[in-house]
Structure formats: C-alpha cells, structure tokens
A = this chain, B = another copy of it.
Amino acid sequence: MSEDQALAAEWRELANRYAATSCALERELHDRHGIGMSEFEVVDRLAGARETKLRMQELAEVVHLSQSALSRAVARLERHGLVCRALCEQDRRGVFVALTDAGRQRHAEARPTQRSVLAEILRPASSAVTG
C-alpha cells in the first residue's frame, strides 16, 4: 500500500471516529440536557478551570470554535442562564465568563451523559476486538 493510500485511510478512520462520536454526543446532549456539543465544551472547560471565571480569549484557545462562534455560544449559554458575563476591570475590552449555579448543575447532569457516550463510542465494549 502506498503512503498516499495509507494517509487517506488514516484520515478516513479519523473522520469516521470523529463523526460517530460528535454525532452521538450532539444528539444525546441535546435530547437529554438541551445543550449542544459546543456549549457543553464551554461549560466543561469552565467547570474544570482553576479559576471560577475565564476570559473569552482563554476559552477560545481551548475550544474548537472560531472567536465569533464562541461569542455566540456564550450568548446562548447566557440566554439559558447557564453562564454569566462580567466586564474585566483591568482591561475593559475583555469579558469574563463564569458558570452560574444553574450552569454548574447542568454540567453535573450532562457530564455523565458525555462520559457514557464517549465510553460507548471510543471503547467499543462488549466485544473481544483488541482494536
């Protein structure tokens, strides 16, 4: 098999795995918790951060969203009461984003869903395949 073909095969497998996972995540998170994958990602990062609040910029660095998409995702979360924005006093162009109590709770509810989806898709259980 040529290197080209190996490369294409690798890419297809990557795309397959990503599509299967993101698709399942999107559906489960939406149906069971009313949030999308991007929104969960934001909430999850906030919940896992050392600080209680993060700058938009810090979020943008770790989430797979363009700056504009992140701005809108945070806007949606804010509309749903899961995060709140606060001005940054040091640099008044900046915006801090922090989880609300409702946001923390929603994250606590949704995280097990995410983990179980990940486990199911990334660790094809109940099979003897050594992968």
Task: Give the interface of A toward B (CB within 8 A).
Answer: 4, 7-8, 10-11, 14-19, 21-22, 64, 115, 118-119, 122-123
Please tell me if the beta carbons of B115 and A8 are within 8 angstroms of each other in the complex.
Answer: yes
- Tell me the smallest distance from the CB of A73 to a CB of chain B, in Å: 15
Q: Is the CB of B64 within 8 A of A118?
A: no
Report B-chain residues with C-beta under 8 Å of the C-beta of A21: 11, 14
Shortest distance in angstroms between A116's beta carbon and chain B's nearest beta carbon? 10
Residues of B within 8 A of A22 (CB): 15
Q: Which of B11, B18, B115, B119 contacts A118 (CB 8 A)?
A: B11
- The answer to whether B122 and A11 touch across the interface, beta carbons within 8 angstroms, is yes
In the bound complex, CA of A123 to CA of B115 (Å): 29
Docked complex Cα distance between A49 and B118 (Å): 33
